[in-house]
Structures are given as C-alpha cells and as structure tokens.
Amino acid sequence: MRGHNPLLAGLAGRCPNCGEGPLFSGFLKVAERCEACGYDLAKADSGDGPVVFVILLAGFPCVFGALFTQFAFDPPIWVTMVIWMPLILILSFGLMRPLKGVLLAAQFANKASEARRDGQD
Ligand SMILES: [Zn+2]
C-alpha cells in the first residue's frame, strides 16, 4: 500500500511501513515483525518513554480538574476519588496505544527520510 500516512497508521495501531499489518502483539507490546510486509517493527519500538508521557498528558488536566472541583464545590474527598481516579486511568490507557503507535511511526518516518538523504531509496 503506497501513499498511506505512517503517522495515521501508527495512530490506528497499524504497521507504519505498509499500513496493513497490526503494530501490536499485546496491549502495549510491539509486534516483532509486520504480518503483512515483514517490516522489523521491534527495531522501531520506542520503548516505554511514551507511557510516562501519556500519564503526564492525561494526568495533568485530571489533577487540575480534581483540584478545581475540590475548591469550587468542596465535595467529600471520596467523591473526587470516585470521579477522577477512573477518568485518569481510562484516559491513560485509552491514549497509550495510539500515542505509542504515533511516536513509533514518527521514528519510522524520521529514519525513512534519513535513508533517502543517504541515497538508499
Ligand atoms: Zn507492514
């Protein structure tokens, strides 16, 4: 498949090289190799850095929201916990995969353009 966007493929959890094969073999485990094109996905794995990034990204608005609710409405602390803790978890887990996919795809796109500069394409 030519002309696909590697970043969109990564966002959708697809191989950035062909946009066809699945990028993940587990929840956050990157597949060794693309089933569709055989691209070495393990080499492009961005590691666990994005996970920390996602937790910060999802955590900050939630912590601010929780603090705001606390000061504005002064609810009992368990109300804050019951509302915001699941939200933080859902947001974190919901964003982790697409974000990891995008970062991996960005790394892939970067390498691809470097290869082109070397005249290997
Ligand atoms: Zn592929």
Q: Which two tokens stand for residue 121?
A: 């394409």
Based on its alpha-carbon atoms, the radius of gyration of the chain, rounded to whole angstroms, reads 19
Cα 41 to middle of ligand 1, angstroms: 8
Cα 92 to middle of ligand 1, angstroms: 27
Please answer whether residues 62 and 84 qualify as being in contact, where contact means their C-beta atoms are separated by less than 8 angstroms: yes
The contacts of residue 20 (CB under 8 Å, 6+ apart) are 1, 14, 34, 36, 37
Cα 9 to middle of ligand 1, angstroms: 10
- Tell me which of 24-33, 48-57, 59-68, 93-102 is least confident: 48-57
Q: Decide if pLDDT at 72 tops 70.
A: yes
Cα 35 to middle of ligand 1, angstroms: 6
Cα gap 121→107, rounded to integer Å: 17
Cα 107 to middle of ligand 1, angstroms: 15
Cα 105 to middle of ligand 1, angstroms: 11
Q: 22 — phi, psi (to 5°)? A: -70, 140
| pLDDT of 5 | 92
**Local confidence band at 118 (pLDDT 50, 70, 90 cut-offs):** low
